[in-house]
Amino acid sequence: MAELLEWMMHADQMLGELISRYGSLVYLFLFLIIFIETGLVVIAFFPGDGLLFSAGLFAASGSLELAILLPLLSIATIAGNTSNYFIGKFLGHRFFQRKDTVWARQLQKARRYHERYGPWAVALSRFFPFMRTLAPFVAGLTRMPFRLFTPYNIIGGVAWITAYVLAGFFFGGIPWVKRHYGLIFSGLIIALLLVLAYGIVKAIRDKYRRKRG
């Protein structure tokens, strides 16, 4: 966990070291990291947001190619979510057998989020850490039709990759952003999680009120 926190706070430095050491192989590393984060429900803690922003920053400096990053990483996250969907569809019931585990509680939250927003949960979850890994799993678990899941998977994946990579490309070079890189992403993640928590609490409260009414 300490290493993952270090990645999140200093993803730009970490990525810079990988580029200087491995050159164009970094594209493969980025593809695998994004695929794993969105494709394996047991690995929901990868620093995807900061990594995408950093990739855009290095694209602006000429160390990486924007024309390669955008389609490559979009494919990675779309394929990752598709993999996660089928894991949920065929193996998901096993994760709910032990309801006292941390994973089971997180999955219950993801399920409520999914029930509230329907197929848009798949697209919107991209912008929420942890939820972007759990949402496609829950979509498979609840047997959302694959033909319905796929367009929202594509919309969310392309939007997430494009938003963060282009943000890094256009804003990553600003001195103030460079100096406060870790603080910016820590604050962003906290804000997104608070928004998510509010949505879940509101959904539960509204459901409770409807039952009482």
The phi and psi torsions of 143 (rounded to 5 degrees) equal 60, 40
Cα–Cα distance between 92 and 68 in angstroms, integer? 34
- Contacting residues for 201 by C-beta, under 8 A, at least 6 apart: none
Going by the DSSP 8-state scheme, the letter that residue 125 receives in this structure is G
Residue with tokens 């928004």: 195
What's the pLDDT score for residue 174?
67
Q: What is the secondary structure of 62-121 as a DSSP string?
A: TSS-HHHHHHHHHHHHHHHHHHHHHHHHHHGGGGGS-TTSHHHHHHHHHHHHHHHHTTHH
What's the pLDDT score for residue 102?
60
- Give pLDDT < 70 ranges for the chain: 1-11, 41-47, 92-117, 172-174, 176-213
What's the pLDDT score for residue 94?
67
What's the pLDDT score for residue 162?
95
Residue with tokens 């949920």: 88
Burial of 35 by CB count in 10 Å (0-12 exposed, 13-18 middle, 19+ buried)? buried
Cβ–Cβ under 8 Å, residues 34 and 77? yes
What's the pLDDT score for residue 5?
47
What's the pLDDT score for residue 124?
85
What's the pLDDT score for residue 1?
43
Cβ–Cβ under 8 Å, residues 159 and 74? no
Going by the DSSP 8-state scheme, the letter that residue 173 receives in this structure is T
What's the pLDDT score for residue 51?
85
Cα–Cα distance between 64 and 30 in angstroms, integer? 11
Residue 211, CA atoms < 13 Å, CB-side half-sphere? 6
What's the pLDDT score for residue 2?
43
